[in-house]
């Protein structure tokens, strides 16, 4: 299968939170300007610390743009980083290549260190043909690096603060991004030409990066990308298109992004629980569960999220919406294109790939055996409300009012080696197996 992967790919500079290092960084800042809140953009060390502390305290994730190269250089010099492949498109392309697909990756700033992290099976368009990443980097001769600073923290990590220590509510990460290439959703001319010329040979497109657009430029950045995707759709109506949300800079940008989707339209939309809350802040949602359903008692908020996902799907008029959380994956889709069994199997493949990445550092590794207890409790409650459990496996589905509603518990990585890219990994693996099922049904 040929699958377009766009738009962001970059190096992730990853730092596992360490009290001594972060303490020195805090001491170099002005404590009176640290406010434990998410800022709209990072213009100072104090802004970074404020947002990082907020995420630690709430156990939430976020990605916020760093506003100057000088500050980015200060951040890079302040910590000992480990470098990994980053960017939604890059992570998903690597996973798809490992599964046997042929990803076609947009990589306008492909330098040697980044290229070395990409699977040789990832195709980079160069002069009308696809090349392996290393060869493409040599041909392009790019020297600029695109770095995202990822601060990983684990549940109960404790960070000193003048007003008292701050303990992490749960495992997560905060990302500070200085990336003038991906924040503009840049694409190479080679990618643009190849994707348009070969669109009839391409089976799917898995797309993200809209969340990186800065507040003062997002309208002019979104427009050409939406038109490009719409052009692919018009040239190949059978193209399966999935858009992945990301952590947007403001509700205003989210509303504008969602308002544009009708121009394409995509087949499915993926997001995590924080992004779901932001996307549905003003979206009414229908009751897709029995009206007598009890209040959510598992603490996982699965019922509320399921209802919100259904409302978002209805509001956008698309085939499918999926929500990936650390405890489970939810999917709401129309009947017809995939069976309930096929969707549940695809979700299991996605959840297991993400768990393998978390536990071993590689999506190809052995996933842990233990199912997430919160996810299992959500499944149990879902079955009490009429859902049917998978035969001999995890997960359950409910078919109601023309919808297939699925819930797949995650696997539990108790000592995660990595927390970045788990959602992208789950999304790409799920997408691949959905495409396999759809293609098989058309043979």
Residue 243 clears pLDDT 80, i.e. is over it: yes
Residue 203 clears pLDDT 90, i.e. is over it: yes
Contact 103, 432 (CB under 8 A): no
pLDDT band at 205 (very low <50, low <70, confident <90, very high): very high
- Read off the pTM: 0.87
- Rounded-to-integer distance, Cα 341 and Cα 268, Å: 18
Residue 316 clears pLDDT 60, i.e. is over it: yes
Structural domain boundaries of the chain?
269-443
- The rounded mean pLDDT for the chain is 91
pLDDT band at 165 (very low <50, low <70, confident <90, very high): confident
pLDDT the model gives residue 292 = 44
pLDDT the model gives residue 171 = 86
Residue 56 buriedness (CB in 10 A; 0-12 / 13-18 / 19+) = buried
Residue 293 clears pLDDT 60, i.e. is over it: no
Number of C-alpha atoms within 13 angstroms, CB side, residue 319? 15
pLDDT the model gives residue 340 = 95
Compute the average pLDDT of residues 397-420.
91
Q: Between 101 and 361, where is the model more confident?
A: 101
* β partners of residue 3: 103, 204
Compute the average pLDDT of residues 421-432.
95
pLDDT band at 23 (very low <50, low <70, confident <90, very high): confident
CATH class for the region spanning 269-443: alpha beta
Compute the average pLDDT of residues 122-151.
88
Number of C-alpha atoms within 13 angstroms, CB side, residue 168? 24
């Amino acid at each position: 299968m040929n699958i377009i992967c766009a738009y962001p790919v970059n190096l992730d500079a990853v730092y596992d939170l360490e009290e001594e290092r972060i303490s020195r960084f805090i001491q170099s800042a002005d404590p009176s300007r640290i406010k434990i809140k998410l800022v709209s953009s990072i213009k100072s060390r104090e802004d970074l610390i404020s947002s990082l502390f907020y995420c630690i305290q709430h156990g939430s994730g976020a990605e916020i743009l760093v506003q100057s190269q000088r500050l980015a250089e200060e951040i890079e010099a302040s910590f000992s980083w480990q470098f990994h492949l980053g960017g939604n498109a890059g992570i998903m392309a690597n996973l798809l290549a490992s599964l046997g697909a042929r990803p076609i990756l947009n990589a306008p700033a492909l330098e040697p260190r980044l290229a070395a992290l990409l699977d040789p099976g990832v195709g980079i368009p160069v002069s009308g043909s696809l090349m392996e990443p290393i060869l493409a980097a040599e041909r392009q001769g790019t020297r600029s690096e695109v770095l995202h600073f990822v601060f990983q923290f684990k549940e109960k990590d404790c960070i000193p603060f003048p007003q008292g220590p701050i303990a992490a509510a749960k495992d997560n990460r905060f990302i500070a991004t200085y990336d003038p290439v991906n924040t503009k959703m840049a694409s190479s001319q080679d990618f643009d030409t190849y994707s348009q010329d070969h669109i009839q040979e391409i089976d799917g497109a898995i797309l993200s990066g809209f969340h990186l657009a800065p507040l003062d430029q997002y309208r002019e950045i979104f427009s050409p990308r939406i038109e490009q995707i719409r052009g692919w759709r018009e040239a190949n109506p059978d193209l399966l298109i999935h858009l992945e949300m990301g952590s947007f800079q403001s509700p205003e940008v989210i509303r504008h992004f969602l308002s544009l989707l009708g121009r394409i339209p995509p087949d499915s939309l993926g997001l995590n629980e924080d992004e779901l809350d932001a996307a549905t802040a003003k979206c009414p949602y229908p009751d897709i569960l029995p009206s007598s359903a009890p209040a959510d008692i598992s603490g996982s908020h699965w019922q509320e999220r399921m209802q919100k996902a259904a409302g978002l799907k209805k509001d956008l008029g698309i085939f499918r919406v999926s929500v990936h959380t650390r405890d489970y994956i939810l999917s709401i889709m129309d009947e017809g294109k995939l069976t309930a069994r096929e969707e549940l199997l695809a979700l299991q493949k996605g959840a297991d790939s993400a768990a393998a990445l978390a536990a071993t550092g590689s999506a190809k590794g052995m996933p842990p055996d233990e199912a997430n207890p919160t996810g299992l409790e959500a499944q149990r409650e879902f079955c009490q409300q009429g859902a049917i459990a998978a035969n001999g496996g995890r997960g359950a589905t409910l078919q109601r009012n023309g919808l297939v509603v699925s819930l797949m518990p995650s696997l539990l990585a108790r000592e995660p080696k990595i927390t970045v890219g788990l959602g992208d990994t789950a999304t790409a693996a799920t997408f691949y197996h959905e495409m396999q099922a759809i293609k098989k049904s058309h043979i």
